[in-house]
Structure 1
Amino acid sequence: MHSRTELDVQARPASVTLSFVRSPLFLLAFSLGVLALLLSITIPQPIGPMFWDHYLYLDAANRIRDGQVPSVDFFTPGGALGYYLFTGLQGIFPNGQPLLLASWCLLLVTGPTIALVVFDIQKRSALLAYAILLPFLAFSVLPFNTGDFYPYPGSDGFGIYNRQVCQLLYVLAAALVHVRDRRILVLVVAAAMAALFFVKITGVVAGTVLCLMAFAAGRIALKSAVTAALLFFAVLGVVEFSVGAVSAYIDDILALLAVNDGSLLPRLLQAASLNAGLLIPAGLLTLVLFVTHLPPFARSLRQLGGRPSASALAQVFDQPSFWLAAFVLAGVLFESQNTGSQAFIFLLPLLLKIVADEVTGGAPKRRAITAAILAIAAALPPVTAVLQKSARAWIGAINNVPLESRNLKTMGAVNLRPILALRAERLRELYAAHRPTFDAFADAGELPSFLLYSDFDFQAGWLKNVDDAIDAMRAYEAANSVHFKTILNIDFTNPFPWLMDRRAPHHVAIGADPFRAVPPPNENVRAAVRAVDVALVPTCPVTNVNRMLLSLYLPSLEPGHSRVPLTKCYDAFIRNDLKAAASGS
């Protein structure tokens, strides 16, 4: 017969296990496990607007495995962290669909940090912890932007590092607003800010605004702020002294600023107008909070005037309207530099606290209801946008057809509507047969369509052109007994080295938009271009964008390379040394 003590000891492990299964941390661990299973197989994705943007990760990962260091050895449009995380995750899950790998790789950072946040919150309220965790999981798991850039449903393969910044800002905001354990707060702030720096520099600007607000309001003490800052700079110092990547990254940022010298005001207005559905209720809520909290704010000012101190100053700034205004400012600053993002999702942890404080803080019923309605109106647009876009894309994909390919590896795991697949094939023929027409578009400085790069048929046709070009290069190599070791694609993205297990040239930029992200070639770039074995030029269609890009590299190609037709949609600059070797063999 067992004693009560023995029964209690036996029941305790089962009780602990059951408690963990019911906890938010179990949901997080379970979700990450499911994502790992999904990455172990190749899940085709419906092709979407500007879908080729995520091919940059394939190019960068191939360069990293080849020993190149982002910013040090090649120019990047953003920080290196996402590329390294993608490279590591691709090594673990070689069959993972590249868009999903790129979208989920940041969970290697945000997963542990949100776990620390949830761990601290659930000690006080499991419900609040779930309320913080569930939106984070939705935005992290569903690889979609909050804005629309095309009327047809499809996967958002662009703006991935912008989405990653917003997810990091979400973790940072949740920590600054809700975490009480000083050690966890310092660790999460330092990790989030370091990750923001190495994903996109404008993200760390927005994060700084959030941290300054928290510091001014007394949510993060001076000692904690200094400790977090020291950890942040320690990470930067280690990276700089190891590979020199921080100074090289800053040089890249300065070069980008030189290329993008437009005024900031139009971009701020654009960011505000694109997110007006969210910003209008957020602005009204800020106004309501300021007016209704004016009496305690006035008392705080009087106390500061009569007895100046750090705590009195913190009470002045620790007003819900100030918090919300600072968070909105951070969001507008960040979104002014973006195309594609999960805009303002980091408002949700703050809005949750504002509503909870109003409802439980003894506020008049009418004021609490008004605040709750406005908060919900500000919180819903990003949630509904991502849920609606994911449902449209994935449910609509039931009737899609796979893109047939021979050489595209997991990059070819895409599908699209049958009518668009047929249109892509027809347009490829038209582009090749009527090249003078599209030369005329390029001469006029216009694309054949204002939304050319968003058109699903263009993205599908581009993949088919790449597939054909690989067949043609292999046939050329076999016929001429040569081997192209380094391949340059004079286009926005260069997946050829990864697809063919070759090398990309050093120093040449990835994400090659000559209007926004390609500085004038320096001697290192010119030397690298001169040394490439083959440089590819897409011609279906000829565009003013690719013409401008070619004009940057042509002076380095012409002396030592000869241009030959490769396929109906690609020309190739082949190094003369290789041609001479082929003719002499």
Structure 2
Amino acid sequence: MARAPREERVENTVSIRSGGARWLHAPSPLLVIVLVLLCLGGLLSLPLTVPIGPSYWDLFIYFDAANRIFDGQMPSVDFFAPVGPLGYWLFAFLIKLWPNAQPLLLVQWSLLLITAPLMVLVSIDVDRRSRGLALALLIPFLVFSVLPVNIEEYSHFPSLDGYGIYNRQGAELLYVLTSALVLVRGRKTQLAVVALAALALFLAKITGFIGGMGLCLFAFAAGRLAFPVALGAGVVFMAGLAALELLFGIVSAYIADIATLVSINEGELLPRFLQAASIHFSVFAAGGLLVLVLLFIEMGASARPADGARAGAIARVQRFLDRDWLWLAVTLFVGLFFETQNTGGQGFIFLWPVLLVILGHANRYHGRRLVALLALVGATALPTTVDIVARSARALVGQVKYERLEHDHLKTLGSVNQRSEFMDHAKAMLDIYARYPAPYEALAEAGQLPSFTLYTDPDFQLTWLMSVDEAADAILKLEAQSGQRFATIMNLNFVNPFPWLLDRHATRLIAIGADPFRAVPPPSEAVLAEVAKTDLVLYPKCPVTTANQALLDIYRKGLTGHRVVSLTPCWDAYVRGDITLSR
């Protein structure tokens, strides 16, 4: 990114063009994207299962949101959401097209409705200069977009990650935005991609948007984002937000939700930076060393020709900032900031476009400097890519001998498999939770889980699905016996799949993705009134947990008019007082 003297820029241009000639017979980026999208569409049409992994139930938040959207509810306006509405809208749209698709794959690939067209624009612009560069930019993006696997690994057994989806989407959008800032030359293309990527980031993950705006500000200061382009992108971005606010009132409601989440999760930022740096130490350390090496090489190089006398202060500032080591340092910091708020995702993948630019300048270096440069670029880029591909391949191969989950009422939520030993353990634990509740109640009273990593254990995720299937069956039997139909169903648990599974309505205004310690605000009178109107409120007991107890306490005032019924040994049901259960 550091602008070379005029003669050097000419040599680089010739090198890029001649390099492009060697890729003459390579497929065009547009063809690659089209073929990949067609393959993904075909896979969504098949009855696939995937190996269930840690915290897989995060995925089911999307079903709760989609069910509410189909009911006419608006994210942030009609229910409290942990992130922006974009991911929920995309999933709701695609599940109408592929109702029987494996849900993790559907969620993972839904963002391609936004990112694929933007990457087409980026790839066409880059392809005009170098097909090799365009493919080197596009192929990693497609790998990250297609594979539902995080950098973090919370299970030693082959599986796919149903958690961290919001964070993966944010990182993939940042990849597109960074590509536009450092590699796109066409002003119209850059304007369109920057504006739409920024809008998507705002509506998907606010911390990703903040990081992306940091990149945009640096690109503007370094002269990579011209003032007319920046102004036009800002106008398009604000127009999009204004339209959403006027039509749905969603922007102000979303901002209010963000403010509430910030107030709930107040804490020191420095420890989070240290934690993010430690989790991603291999990439962050290698990238940091690369920054230092590039800076050292530049400091040891002969001075650049002085700017012409007519060059103004702005041009000199831009020339100073537009350097490879500064770009890498800023992108690393943005990546670290983004990861301070994440517990899973594809951290730092948007370093890739910056590293490609650095590799494009490799002809400036020789000998040990070139070796150091190439080694550190590889050390920064490859661990993430290799790990994601390897874990995905392991999950694909490992599931050959896995057992499918048997169920009656889970629809596509049950499209999972796992080792037979896990299945047997999950069935046994469900029975033990129901027959011997006292130890788990004692643990909950002490503020402890049965295991510190309970939610990341695949067998717990299987137990939870089995218990949901059992509860759905019990609800249908209760309705058949009483002649009643519970139109609205709420679940005092992290997720509420029952309205989707039983084709019912969800309680308005309450939080989805209900982590009572991080993402559930104190209920207002309006929220409690909606809870009071709910026909059936479920309370899971296999096992009793501190989180479920906390949710019961949060909404208890809204349940004073309900009576408790033992639905199954694993579930209590709070039935609205005016509903008669006997014929």
Aligned to 1:346: 350
The answer (yes or no) to whether the contact 1:215–1:222 under 8 Å persists in 2 is yes
Aligned to 2:538: 536
2:328 and 2:131 map into 1 onto residues whose CA distance is 25
Residue 152 (structure 2) pairs with residue 147 (structure 1) = yes
**Structure 1 residue matching 2:506: 3-state secondary structure:** coil
Aligned to 2:576: 575
RMSD: 1.7
1:227 and 1:431 map into 2 onto residues whose CA distance is 59
1:235-384 alignment, distance < 5 Å: 235-294=240-299, 303=307, 308-357=312-361, 359-360=362-363, 362-384=364-386
The answer (yes or no) to whether the contact 2:488–2:535 under 8 Å persists in 1 is yes
1:365-404 alignment, distance < 5 Å: 365-404=367-406
* 1:303 Cα deviation after fit: 4.7
* 1:98 Cα deviation after fit: 1.0
CA offset digits 1:329-380 (Å, max 9, x no partner)? 10000000001110000001110110111x23x3233222211110110001
Change (3 A) 1:297 1:412: farther
- The TM-score, its normalising length taken from structure 1, stands at 0.94
1:18-417 alignment, distance < 5 Å: 22-294=27-299, 303=307, 308-357=312-361, 359-360=362-363, 362-417=364-419
2:487 and 2:191 map into 1 onto residues whose CA distance is 47
Instruction: Could you list the structure 1 runs, at least 4 aligned residues long, displaced by more than 3 angstroms after superposition.
Output: 295-300, 302-308
**Structure 1 residue matching 2:225: 3-state secondary structure:** coil
Aligned to 1:483: 485
**Structure 2 residue matching 1:34: 3-state secondary structure:** helix
Q: In structure 2, what residue type is equivalent to 1:493?
A: V
The answer (yes or no) to whether the contact 2:332–2:348 under 8 Å persists in 1 is yes
The answer (yes or no) to whether the contact 1:297–1:316 under 8 Å persists in 2 is no
The answer (yes or no) to whether the contact 1:293–1:319 under 8 Å persists in 2 is no
* 1:42 Cα deviation after fit: 2.3
Change (3 A) 1:444 1:314: same
* 1:84 Cα deviation after fit: 0.1
* 1:305 Cα deviation after fit: 10
Deviates more, 1:98-107 or 1:305-314: 305-314
Aligned to 1:526: 528
**Structure 2 residue matching 1:156: 3-state secondary structure:** coil
Q: In structure 1, what residue type is equivalent to 2:50?
A: Q
1:128 and 1:306 map into 2 onto residues whose CA distance is 35
1:268 and 1:68 map into 2 onto residues whose CA distance is 36
1:367 and 1:517 map into 2 onto residues whose CA distance is 49
Q: In structure 2, what residue type is equivalent to 1:375?
A: V
| Unaligned 5+ runs, structure 1 | 1-18
Aligned to 1:3: none
Aligned to 1:495: 497
1:372 and 1:215 map into 2 onto residues whose CA distance is 28
Report how many residues are paired: 561
* 1:543 Cα deviation after fit: 0.6
Aligned to 1:464: 466
**Equivalent of 1:453, from 455, 466, 488?**
455
Aligned to 2:553: 551
**Structure 1 residue matching 2:349: 3-state secondary structure:** coil
Aligned to 2:442: 440
1:417 and 1:96 map into 2 onto residues whose CA distance is 22
1:244 and 1:304 map into 2 onto residues whose CA distance is 52
Change (3 A) 1:41 1:107: same
Change (3 A) 1:287 1:20: closer
Aligned to 2:507: 505
CA offset digits 1:129-180 (Å, max 9, x no partner)? 1100110010001111111122222110001010001001111111111111
The answer (yes or no) to whether the contact 1:297–1:319 under 8 Å persists in 2 is no
Q: In structure 1, what residue type is equivalent to 2:323?
A: Q
* 1:399 Cα deviation after fit: 1.0
- The TM-score, its normalising length taken from structure 2, stands at 0.94
* 1:309 Cα deviation after fit: 2.8
Aligned to 1:515: 517
**Structure 2 residue matching 1:464: 3-state secondary structure:** helix
Residue 430 (structure 2) pairs with residue 425 (structure 1) = no
The answer (yes or no) to whether the contact 2:112–2:145 under 8 Å persists in 1 is yes
CA offset digits 1:494-513 (Å, max 9, x no partner)? 01000000000100110000
CA offset digits 1:370-412 (Å, max 9, x no partner)? 1111011000111011011111211111111000000011111
* 1:304 Cα deviation after fit: 9.7
**Structure 2 residue matching 1:385: 3-state secondary structure:** helix
**Structure 2 residue matching 1:372: 3-state secondary structure:** helix
Q: In structure 2, what residue type is equivalent to 1:500?
A: L
Change (3 A) 1:542 1:297: farther
CA offset digits 1:206-253 (Å, max 9, x no partner)? 101111121111111111111111111111111111101010001000
**Structure 2 residue matching 1:577: 3-state secondary structure:** coil
Deviates more, 1:27-36 or 1:390-399: 390-399
Change (3 A) 1:304 1:323: farther
**Structure 1 residue matching 2:505: 3-state secondary structure:** coil
**Structure 2 residue matching 1:488: 3-state secondary structure:** strand
* 1:95 Cα deviation after fit: 1.1
2:187 and 2:371 map into 1 onto residues whose CA distance is 33
Q: In structure 2, what residue type is equivalent to 1:312?
A: R
Q: In structure 2, what residue type is equivalent to 1:104?
A: W
1:167 and 1:328 map into 2 onto residues whose CA distance is 15
The answer (yes or no) to whether the contact 2:26–2:131 under 8 Å persists in 1 is no
Residue 475 (structure 2) pairs with residue 473 (structure 1) = yes
1:305 and 1:68 map into 2 onto residues whose CA distance is 62
CA offset digits 1:77-114 (Å, max 9, x no partner)? 10000000000010111111111111110000000000
1:312 and 1:42 map into 2 onto residues whose CA distance is 59
The answer (yes or no) to whether the contact 1:145–1:342 under 8 Å persists in 2 is yes
